[in-house]
Amino acid sequence: MATLAYYRVSSSDQSIASQRQALGGPFDHEFSDEGVSGAIMAKDRPGFGKLLGFIRKGDNLHIYAIDRLGRDALDVQATVRRLIEDGVTIHVHGLGTIGRGVGELIVAVLAQVADMERQRIRERCANGRATAKAYLEATGKTHNNKLSMGRPKRKDGKEVAAWRKLNSATLEQTCQQFSISRATASRYWAEFREQV
């Protein structure tokens, strides 16, 4: 009988350290997926896949939050059901031990709530993009007073194209002059060469 822990964070700039600290330990074995999107099914994640191949009947699995166990409510429920049927005891930080019956019901509700929250976040992001686009089309700036929806442009494309034409410069010379990439210089040239 082993005591295991599983951690997951979505982006490479996040760390599993806070989850590890919250769970305490010590653990016989730890598995993790760092920089792995929550949109990927649990069984398809490299770290979780290794855990599934390793875990045995009678083992105890500790996780920080129920949403670490799946992509959506259905995946979480299927993962929990599989682990319970394999004789694994699941401990969720702040929630306790998940078992058959009431434990599975609680998991179903919590997974559904987490799924709804992810959907609300997607909707808020989509609404924010739509608002920004509408403001940009109407006023030339987004609702946050930015000049574009994406990253701010490092240089004025028209200025770059005008300099290149005036100096009969190559693409490489233009890149060096403005400290921009070849792709950016090419894009500015294609967009503005007719206007300069």
pLDDT (tens digit, 9 = 90+) per residue, 66-113? 888 887 777 888 888 889 888 999 998 888 888 766 666 676 777 677
Picking from 82, 114, 146, the residue at the C-terminal end of a domain is: 114
Q: Is residue 126 part of a domain?
A: no
Residues 147-155: what's their mean pLDDT? 71
Higher pLDDT, 14 or 64: 64
Higher pLDDT, 41 or 108: 41
Q: Output the pLDDT for position 85.
A: 87
Query: Can you give the residue range of the structural domain that contains 187?
Result: 157-192
Q: Output the pLDDT for position 56.
A: 94
Mean pLDDT of the chain: 85
Residues 148-164: what's their mean pLDDT? 80
CB 12 within 8 A of CB 35: yes
Q: Is residue 7 part of a domain?
A: yes
Encode pLDDT of 175-194 as tens digits: 999 888 888 888 888 888 77
CB 57 within 8 A of CB 31: no
Q: How confident is the model at residue 47 (pLDDT cuts 50, 70, 90)?
A: very high
Q: Is residue 97 part of a domain?
A: yes
Query: Is 10 one of the annotated active-site residues of the chain?
Result: yes
Look at residues 87, 76, 150, 84 and name the one whose alpha carbon lies nearest to residue 114.
76
pTM of the predicted model as reported, rounded to 2 decimal places:
0.57
For residues 171 and 97, state if they share a domain. Answer: no
Number of other residues whose CB lies within 10 A of the CB of residue 138: 8
Q: Output the pLDDT for position 103.
A: 65
The torsion defined by the Cα of 127, 42, 91 and 66, in degrees rounded to 10, comes to 10
3-state secondary structure of 60: strand
Residues 12-32: what's their mean pLDDT? 88
Q: How confident is the model at residue 151 (pLDDT cuts 50, 70, 90)?
A: low
How many folded domains does the chain comprise?
2
